Structure 1
């Protein structure tokens, strides 16, 4: 009887977590938060620590998407503390520290996360970390551009058009800040095309 009850609580928790992720994609932040809280409650009832960490990571990611860095770091820190090889949470946490200009903390997380990603052959996150590393190091524009374009090649092959858009916008912003309006315009335009592709792909699913 207990096992059947535990399975029920676990399955409801998974459903709530999936609904939370769907709400993130729709930018329905309050609803996402409610679903993640419900998922956390279900997993806590049956002592599923692994899945509690999963939900905490999703909460951290959600707050990161809203640029709520302090909240994001709070949840992501718990994930990294309990799961030291969680390269996804490590990346998201490094990104938030970079946003807060906490470069030394970000650098350490980037180095650790990049090493883990390489050991696991996680090519997507290798590119993510390399791009963030150049940003965090305030590297020369030409070097950043080379690394970002290599990442874009991978993201496009994998159909990760939201990442393609964000990467082009990163370059557009960098060139705009340097008053290189021709290059800035080119990359912002490519970012807009990637955004359209992202919505087209979403509409077909």
Structure 2
């Protein structure tokens, strides 16, 4: 603990000048050096200064140690996704904002507060904090640099810059072993980035490492999150039995702790798993269990509706699809939403109105997907239009849409992921 800065804090808090504090104890220049931590202070002088300020060195040391513990508890609560505890500790620590400016905890305090803002998904505020903190990075310790990169990776992930986030994590890979007890989410973040980039082998590799870390720390919620990532990519790589076992474990654990979000995700991912194996009846059973647990009219809600419609179509239950989608499509206020287009396409498929579908894709579907940058759907829809126009003998239009489709495929190959 740098006691000189603490003395400086309390002197200013008492609205005392250096002359007033050092009167009868030491010279002003001597006190100035003590406050700037450029001179060792003898015990007698230190005790006299503290006595005049109404503080004790021991109490200040204990206060700093308690704050260090509180800060680590704060970060741990965030890593555990314990909102209530994190909120409470944030309010407690906010009272010490001025005090920490005079301690060696200053940058850790600012970084942990940034982590909380990211936890709340307040990205505009987070960006402002990042720009402010960036001015001090040359003063950072090795640990603070490690945390800085991790937090910037989280920020870039939330902004959709997955490759940049991964690069930031890789930059401090060698420091992870030194600080694995303080920051336990490093491997989870690497797994998540590879997941977002569609790199299944690496998502599984780092997911298994993250699972080991979170189990050791008894971080139940994050353990479920990692198992979710693993189950998705085990499904992608055809390891269906392992994926199914993990998803059933998630269901059991999530139901035990009454975590509705993970229960819903587990049912949804089981639906995806069975769908990948062309087990449409089993897939539908899971999606129907997932649907009531999702907030209505959200992206996840429409994704599940679309999956249900897809499997009903595979089972040739077109009338059920028409009834389901007519109701959902009527409720849309914005027909330029990606979700609306996807459901509209399924609706036309269910009605077997191929020509109407193709005209809709050309006039509305593809332009909307281009506006939203959805390369996967631009590729898929353009390919369908090209095939139809080729069947109709319009080779010019067929060539035009085939070029659009191939262009998207090339972009996808270069980016390494299709989003």
Kept after mapping to 2: 8 A contact 1:95/1:132: yes
Counterpart CA distance in 2 for 1:108 and 1:42 is: 36
Deviation per residue, 1:30-71 (Å, 9 max, x gap): 254454334333313312233211221122234435543223
- Alpha-carbon distance, 1:140 to partner: 4.5
Counterpart CA distance in 1 for 2:291 and 2:255 is: 19
Change in Cα spacing, 1:152 to 1:37, as seen in structure 2 (3 Å) is farther
Of residues 306, 317, 340 in structure 2, which corresponds to 1:91?
Answer: 306
Of residues 340, 353, 359 in structure 2, which corresponds to 1:139?
Answer: 353
- Alpha-carbon distance, 1:104 to partner: 0.5
Residue in structure 2 matched with residue 105 of structure 1 by the alignment: 320
Change in Cα spacing, 1:156 to 1:41, as seen in structure 2 (3 Å) is farther
The equivalences for 1:1-205 within 5 A come to 8-23=219-234, 27-30=236-239, 32-83=243-294, 85=296, 86-116=301-331, 118-119=332-333, 123-141=337-355, 143-149=356-362, 150-175=364-389, 178=391, 180=393, 182=395, 183-184=397-398, 186-202=400-416
Counterpart CA distance in 1 for 2:409 and 2:318 is: 29
Change in Cα spacing, 1:204 to 1:103, as seen in structure 2 (3 Å) is closer
Kept after mapping to 2: 8 A contact 1:165/1:194: yes
How much is the aligned-residue C-alpha RMSD, in angstroms?
3.4
Deviation per residue, 1:140-167 (Å, 9 max, x gap): 51x2123213222222232221122222
Counterpart CA distance in 1 for 2:278 and 2:403 is: 24
- Alpha-carbon distance, 1:173 to partner: 4.3
Change in Cα spacing, 1:103 to 1:123, as seen in structure 2 (3 Å) is same
Question: What TM-score, normalized by structure 2, do the two folds share?
Answer: 0.41
- Alpha-carbon distance, 1:22 to partner: 4.4
Aligned residue pairs total 197
SS of residue in 2 equivalent to 1:29: coil
User: Which is further off, 89-98 or 151-160?
Assistant: 151-160
Counterpart CA distance in 2 for 1:191 and 1:169 is: 6
- Max Rg structure: 2
Gaps of 5+ in 2: 1-81, 86-214
Counterpart CA distance in 2 for 1:68 and 1:173 is: 28
Counterpart CA distance in 1 for 2:369 and 2:354 is: 23
**Higher RCO structure (Cα 8 Å, ≥6 apart):** 1
SS of residue in 1 equivalent to 2:383: helix
Change in Cα spacing, 1:204 to 1:56, as seen in structure 2 (3 Å) is closer
More helix by share: 1
Deviation per residue, 1:146-193 (Å, 9 max, x gap): 3213222222232221122222233344445x4537355554453233
Kept after mapping to 2: 8 A contact 1:97/1:106: yes
SS of residue in 2 equivalent to 1:59: helix
Kept after mapping to 1: 8 A contact 2:325/2:347: yes
